[in-house]
Structure formats: C-alpha cells, structure tokens
Amino acid sequence: MEPLTRSEVFGELRKELYGDKQSSHSSTHVFIILGASGDLAKKKIYPTLWWLFKDGLLPEDIYIVGFARSDLTVDKIKAACLPHMKDTDEELDSLSAFFKRNSYLSGRYDVGSSFERLNSHLSSLPGGETANRLFYLALPPTVYHHVSTNIRNHCMSCKGWNRVIFEKPFGHDLQSSQELSAHLANLFKEDQIYRIDHYLGKEMVQNLMVLRFGNRLFGPIWNRNSVACVVLTFKEPFGTQGRGGYFDGFGIIRDVMQNHLLQMLCLIAMEKPTSTSPDDVRNEKVKVLKCIAPPNMADVVLGQYVGDPGGEGDANLGYLDDPTVPKGSCTPTFATAVLYVQNERWDGVPFILRCGKALNERKAEVRLQFTDVPGDIFADRCQRNELVVRVQPDEAIYLKMMTKRPGVFFGPEETELDLTYKSRYKNVKLPDAYERLILDVFCGNQMHFVRSDELREAWRIFTPLLHQIEAAKRQPIPYTYGSRGPSESDDLIQRVGFRYEGTYKCVT
C-alpha cells in the first residue's frame, strides 16, 4: 500500500476528529497563551500551534492571543519563535496567515483590569463573543492562583466553552497540590481543567493501551503469575546545564518519577477500562494508584552526579559545580524506587522506577521481565523473556525470547521479535507530544491529561518519602557524569527480583 501523502493523513485525521462535530469545528476558537514571552511559549507552544495550523488540523477560524508582562509585539514574538519552528521556508504564505491571526497584549498577572482588557480584546475578535476559549498557562506556578482567578472572573466565554491548560509542577507535595486543586475546583469544573504530562502525548505511551487490551497474546500473561518485575526507566545524558537552581527546588523524584514514570506505570498496571472514554480510562488509573502504598526508604536509592575528570565540556562538571545550585545541596539527580501494587493482579510484583540526569544514554522505556520457565529442559540455558516498549529514542517494541541457536546447533540462545518504528513505519510522521495534546484540548478529549484525583493519588504515594528525604537531608550517592548511575541501584533492583543477564544486546 502506498504511504499516504501528508495532506491525506491529515485529511483522514480531520474526519476522525471533526466528523460528527461539524458545528464545533466551524465555531471560532481563541487560544490564549499566558506567559507568551517565556521559554515554553517560544520553544514549544507557538511552534506547536504553527505546525497544527500549517497541517490544517486547527479549526479554520482560529485566533491566537499572547499575554505577558513584557512590552512585546507579534513581530518580536515571531522573531523569538522562528528558530524553533520548522518548515517555514516552503510555507511563507501559511506562516504569514498564521501570524496574521496572532495578537499580543501586555498586562499584570495579579491585576484584574489587565484581564478585563484581555477580555475586551478577545470579544473584539471576529466571532470573539461566541468563541470557544483555550487558556494555556505557560507560567511559573507562583502566579497560578492569581491568573486562574482572573481568568475566571474576567475572561470566560459565555457562549462557547472554556478550557484551561496547566503545566507541572502541580504543587510540590500532597498538601500544596491539594490546595491548588481545591483552588482550581472553585473556579473551574473538572472537564475544563487540562493538566499536561507530556509523556501522555508520546507515541509509545499512547500505544500501551492498544498493546495491552487489543492483543489476546498478552492477556493471560499480564499478571503476577508470569511477570517477575516491571522496570520503568528514564535516562538523560546531560546534567542541569546551568539551570540547576530551578531544579534544586524540586529534585528528580518530583521532576520525573512522580509524574512521567508513574503515569507509565498506571498504563501498564491498570485493569481494562469499560470503554476508551476519558473518564473510564482515568477511573482505572486512579483505581490502580489507590492500591500503591508509599515506598519504603529501604527500597529507594538516591544519587547526585559529580564531574567526570576524563570527560569533555559539561561532563567535567558535577551538579554542585553549577553556580546556581546552593552549596552542599542534597537534591538527588538520580533515583531508583520500588513500588508495589497491592491488588489481585500484581501483589508481590516489584515495579521499579529509575530515573536520572547525566547518565550514559538517552532512554525512556518500559520493560516487563517475565518469570523463569517452569520445568526447564534446556539445562538452565534459558534466560527470562522480556517485553520492551521503547518510548524514546527510536520508538520500538520488542520481545526478547529464546530460540534455537541457528545453524548446526540445537541449544537455545536469546533473540528478539522486533518492531522498530523507523524501519516498519518509514514514511509515517510521528507528531510531537505537544501537537497531539493540544489537538486533544481542541477536541475536548481528556484521556491523556491528568485528573485531579489522579494527581492527588500520585502525591499521596510520594509525599511521605519526599518529606523524609528533606527532613533527614539524606546524602545522595555520588555517581560520575556519563555513567550508569550508582551501583547501589543495581543492587536494589537485583534484590527485589530483576535478573540482569548481561549477555544480551538488542539488535535491530
């Protein structure tokens, strides 16, 4: 079958998205970027809106309004964003059309009249009175309270719908998160609140549901009888790169583990939902989270990277060498923690979450390691099966298993059944996570956004540990920039049941 052209693909998608919602499609939509002058806006939000616009995935009648304190113009915004927008050379006409729909307002986040002015501006746009409104808070959390209150008081559309998009951090522990959620619940309904965890926009993470629930093969083995352990990994090969000061207030557990890794764990561990409607799916995620007790300190390893004397450039610098990091900081840049899901399906199976900066590679993956073959007849030469879903880089799924050593031999050796996306789906464009997610907001699909009770459970699980670490000022174990992290982490995972054979390397 010939691969579809770009416009055919998006034509199909438009039909899928808007097929039975013609009325909504033809309404006016206004997308308001609060914090339009910031990093996130210029590197991610504006470019993403541009790509969606260019591919015809946004409703025809769309306006984009930037809002920040700075004294900016659309031209200045354009100049700031252009380096991050791709494909602009061939699409100059489209690009002009895009920026023609852009406007900018400056104002103060904590001042009501700024938002009154914003509202007037929104209402003055063609179709603005009845338009649907999406508010993207690309802002530091310190101003959430003010901004959300002001949006509610001054900027809601009376005729169209209103949706508010938030980025993490959502608080820094259970209490602060609940305060924020309570505040938001006062102002907006759950179906207006879109909390972004961008991992939920990634191809392979979205694939987890289809893999699990669309395949008969996996049904009978997806439980404690066959699964020895689950390992969820996130590794970055670089450090804090001069922004350690910001990171220091959070640490790796809040940055990666409590959200991205825990989300992937939910998708792996949850029961099959009643349907694929967002609330049915999120109900199952909340249900499985409720079965997870806070991890024990004994099941956690914390690390902090130090410079590699033999390394080049950044690699020479440790976390504490970053001038923005407070002297003697104990904030971990690496953590491994073991969680248990105490339900019928998973009781006793370790869910190992591992994440870190300044490690030896860039990788995010989900790995199910299966139990040994009972009643082995191959003289103990069989290694455990593993199902691996590589989220990034190089999206892939592979099944590590035993086969007869090919050729004249008869004994077993490891091999894999493999699905590597860039080979199998050479011509398919995999969209950026933000493209998918922003499109979901337009469509009103909350499946890949974090619900309030989901968030509460995620904090419930990690808050005791976080408080304990901070109270005790627990010293993280040093590890060299570019290494695999502290060996104590390997010890931990082996102790709880992961078997690392070391004999196998995936060949794709």
Partner 1 sequence: MTLPLSRSEVFGELRQELYDDEKFHQSDVHIFIIMGASGDLAKKKIYPTLWWLFRDGLLPEETYFVGFARSDLTVDAIRTACMPFMKVTEMEAERLSAFFARNSYISGKYAEDASFSKLNAHMLALPGGPEANRLFYLALPPTVYHDVTKNIKQHCMSTKGWNRVIVEKPFGHDLQSSEELSTHLSSLFSEDQIYRIDHYLGKEMVQNLMVLRFGNRIFGPIWNRDSVACVVLTFKEPFGTQGRGGYFDDFGIIRDVMQNHLLQMLCLVAMEKPASTSSDDVRDEKVKVLKCITPVSMSDVVLGQYVGNPEGEGDAKLGYLDDPTVPKGSTQATFATAVLYVHNERWDGVPFILRCGKALNERKAEVRLQFTDVPGDIFDNKCQRNELVVRVQPNEAIYAKMMSKKPGVYFSPEETELDLTYKSRYKDVKLPDAYERLILDVFCGSQMHFVRSDELREAWRIFTPILHQIDKEKPKPIPYKYGSRGPSEADDLVKRVGFRYEGTYKWVNPHKL
Q: Enumerate the active-site residues.
A: 260
Helices and strands in the chain, H and E counts? 18, 15
**Measured distance CA(329)–CA(321) in Å, rounded:** 11
505 makes contact with partner 1 (CB under 8 A): yes
- Which amino acid, residue 430? L
Query: Smallest Cα–Cα separation from 255: which of 341, 167, 368?
Result: 167
b/e for 473-489, b at 16 or more Cβ within 10 A?
A: eeebbebbbbbebbeeb
Locus of tokens 């990994």: 233
Q: Nearest 5°: phi and psi at 80?
A: -70, -35
| Residue 228, token pair as written in the block | 């020895």
143, 291, 330, 430: which one contacts partner 1 (CB under 8 A)?
430
Q: Write down the least CB distance from residue 453 to partner 1, Å.
A: 22
Locus of tokens 């002058």: 37
Q: Write down the least CB distance from residue 13 to partner 1, Å.
A: 5
219 makes contact with partner 1 (CB under 8 A): yes
Residues from 341 through 370 that contact partner 1 (CB under 8 A): 370
Q: Write down the least CB distance from residue 208 to partner 1, Å.
A: 9
7 makes contact with partner 1 (CB under 8 A): no
Q: Which residues lie below 8 Å from residue 495, measured CB to CB, with a gap of 6+?
A: none
26, 120, 130, 225: which one contacts partner 1 (CB under 8 A)?
225
Q: Write down the least CB distance from residue 63 to partner 1, Å.
A: 23
Angle at 165 between CA 253 and CA 436, to 5 degrees: 85
337 makes contact with partner 1 (CB under 8 A): no
**Measured distance CA(190)–CA(184) in Å, rounded:** 9
Indicate if the alpha-carbon torsion angle 283, 284, 286, 290 is positive or negative.
positive
255, 322, 435, 454: which one contacts partner 1 (CB under 8 A)?
435
**Measured distance CA(194)–CA(127) in Å, rounded:** 24
For the chain, helix, strand, coil in percent to 5 are 45, 20, 35
Site size for partner 1 (CB under 8 A): 75
Spatial contact of 150 and 115, defined as CB atoms under 8 Å apart: yes
Q: Write down the least CB distance from residue 367 to partner 1, Å.
A: 14
19 makes contact with partner 1 (CB under 8 A): no
274 makes contact with partner 1 (CB under 8 A): yes
211 makes contact with partner 1 (CB under 8 A): yes
In the complex with partner 1, the residue whose CB is nearer, 301 or 387, is 387
Q: Write down the least CB distance from residue 222 to partner 1, Å.
A: 10
Q: Write down the least CB distance from residue 199 to partner 1, Å.
A: 15
399 makes contact with partner 1 (CB under 8 A): yes
In the complex with partner 1, the residue whose CB is nearer, 236 or 435, is 435
**Measured distance CA(318)–CA(323) in Å, rounded:** 10
Residues from 445 through 504 that contact partner 1 (CB under 8 A): 504
Residues from 42 through 81 that contact partner 1 (CB under 8 A): 57
371 makes contact with partner 1 (CB under 8 A): yes
Spatial contact of 265 and 230, defined as CB atoms under 8 Å apart: yes
b/e for 112-140, b at 16 or more Cβ within 10 A?
A: eebbebbbebbbebebbeebbbbbbbbbe
Residues from 374 through 393 that contact partner 1 (CB under 8 A): 374-375, 377-378, 382, 384-385, 387
In the complex with partner 1, the residue whose CB is nearer, 321 or 413, is 413
Q: Write down the least CB distance from residue 15 to partner 1, Å.
A: 11
Q: Write down the least CB distance from residue 12 to partner 1, Å.
A: 8
82, 297, 330, 419: which one contacts partner 1 (CB under 8 A)?
419
- Which amino acid, residue 194? Y
408, 471, 473, 502: which one contacts partner 1 (CB under 8 A)?
408
Q: Which helix (H) or strand (E) holds 302?
A: strand 300-306
8, 87, 191, 372: which one contacts partner 1 (CB under 8 A)?
372
Contact region with partner 1 (CB under 8 A), list: 94-102, 144-152, 327-335, 397-405? 397-405
In the complex with partner 1, the residue whose CB is nearer, 41 or 52, is 52
Alpha helices, DSSP H, located in 137-259: 144-150, 174-187, 203-213, 244-248, 251-252
Angle at 38 between CA 34 and CA 44, to 5 degrees: 85
237, 412, 444, 497: which one contacts partner 1 (CB under 8 A)?
412
Contact region with partner 1 (CB under 8 A), list: 87-95, 145-153, 208-216, 332-340? 208-216
Contact region with partner 1 (CB under 8 A), list: 9-17, 137-145, 183-191, 237-245? 9-17
In the complex with partner 1, the residue whose CB is nearer, 17 or 33, is 17
In the complex with partner 1, the residue whose CB is nearer, 14 or 43, is 14
79, 293, 428, 472: which one contacts partner 1 (CB under 8 A)?
428
206 makes contact with partner 1 (CB under 8 A): yes
Q: Nearest 5°: phi and psi at 105?
A: -130, 140
- Which amino acid, residue 187? L
Q: Write down the least CB distance from residue 427 to partner 1, Å.
A: 9
**Measured distance CA(304)–CA(325) in Å, rounded:** 12
E strand residue ranges, 107-148: 132-137
In the complex with partner 1, the residue whose CB is nearer, 171 or 273, is 273
